[in-house]
Amino acid sequence: MPRAAEFRCRVLHGATPAGERFLAALLDRHRDADPRVEEAARAIVADVRARGDVALAELTRRFDGVRLSPARFAVPRAARRRALAGLPAALRGALERAHTQIAAFHARQMPGDDLYAARPGALLGQRVRAIDAVGLYVPGGRARYPSSVLMNAVPAKIAGVPRIVMVTPPGPAGVVAPEVLAAAEIAGVDEVWRVGGAQAIAALAYGTKTIRAVDKIVGPGNAYVTAAKRIVYGRVGIDGPAGPSEVVVIADRDASPASVAADLIAQAEHDPDALALAFVVGAALAKAVAREVERRAAAAPRRAIVCEALAARGAVVSVASLEEALERAHRFAPEHLVVAVSDPLAVLPQVGAAGSIFLGHDSPVTLGDYFAGPNHVLPTGGAARFTSGLGVWDFVTISSVTLYDRAALAREADDVCAFAAAEGLHAHGEAVRARLGTTAPRKRKDRR
């Protein structure tokens, strides 16, 4: 990859063969699990399942360099309260205001019980029930992600989950970042455990003497965490695998080159594998955006990561029209989609698949990362074609409800028994006839 000082932003014209080949290669960005990572994660999961806390302690020492006895896995509630009390006032205020806004947004998602009179004597509907226990994986170690705590915990709390369990890797000396602990306290997390990696996923799925199992695991992690979540799926639910961060920006001729470039840089600094594309109406604007990307990349504190990401999976693409930009963005179904146009609400009905949509010239993705309210745990790798970001719906189950009286059952018995006979499941028909006091198929009346 080129050194940061030599980086040149790729400018493409979508109609050219070279441009189409590059974009086609990026479209096929779903990655199968690395077999070596999968094998290692499977061994870790099996070890924790077999040896429980002993394996957790050994693996924490091996991978995190921290010696913790099972008695010290838990972060006491008092430590979380001290972390919150010790935060700088500005950061505490920002976390509390973000919590309020995230909670307000997710409260609108909450489904409710509903029964309706479908036909005379027949009530149909649904019952909504919170999952009993969920596990939240929060990346940690040397990193700090209080925003991930809020984004995972708040919808679970809104859903009414009675037991919310957080796991996060211990930092040096076994300490968890105070910002993370403070966010857990603000969000109402019930348990915090300083264990991470694939071993933490195994503990949540199968339980140990110290850590009780949960019913579902959510939250992003590294490749080993993602592999472990795949392995335990079926024993527990998961939210889905997370991949490298992505942004696609759609820009009309009124867009600011500086704003478009800043959005691309902001996603590229996440990860060398991040995807950052802009579909820009007009060649002149595309060149202006590219120049701004180069200037900002050279000055970025994480410029090595930025330049590596943009060199591999970044481009500014000149397109002929806003319609073309929208169509191309839909094909990518990106994690984040910025629609930087002058009349965004008029364009919204034409916007296709995306994890989260940011409308207008003044709605950067950073708002969604931390503060606006929508969740930042989003589908990547094109998965927005068929799934959604994390929400309250991930923390509830919905059971259908059926209540018939005898008259309603009698009216529909012939049709039900006809299905049972056609499928050769005669006991199914008997379950209807037994309630009506009949032992043989009833003759159908001509309803014409």
- Verify whether residue 185 is a known catalytic residue: no
Any bridge partners for residue 280, and if so which?
A: 251, 318
Residue 435 CA to its chain's centroid (Å): 46
Helix crossing, 17-27 with 322-332: angle to 10°? 40
Half-sphere exposure of 168 (CA within 13 A, CB side): 31
If one counts every other C-beta atom within 10 angstroms of the C-beta of residue 233, the result is 15
**Active-site residue, 335 included:** yes
Query: Which of the residues 335, 423, 428, 430 is marked catalytic?
Result: 335
Token pair 């009698």 is found at: 410
What CA–CA distance (Å, rounded) separates 383 from 144?
26
Tokens of 137: 């994986």
Q: Are 75 and 193 in contact (CB under 8 A)?
A: yes
How far apart are the C-alpha atoms of 220 and 148, rounded to whole Å? 8
- Could you tell me the two tokens for 217? 């695991």
The answer to whether 246 and 266 are in contact (CB under 8 A) is: no
Rounded Cα gap, residues 201 and 239, in angstroms: 13
The catalytic position among 99, 270, 330, 336 is 336
Contacts with 167 (C-beta within 8 Å, 6 or more apart), sequence order: 135, 136, 137, 138, 192, 193, 194, 195, 196, 200, 201, 203, 204
The residues that are catalytic are: 335-336
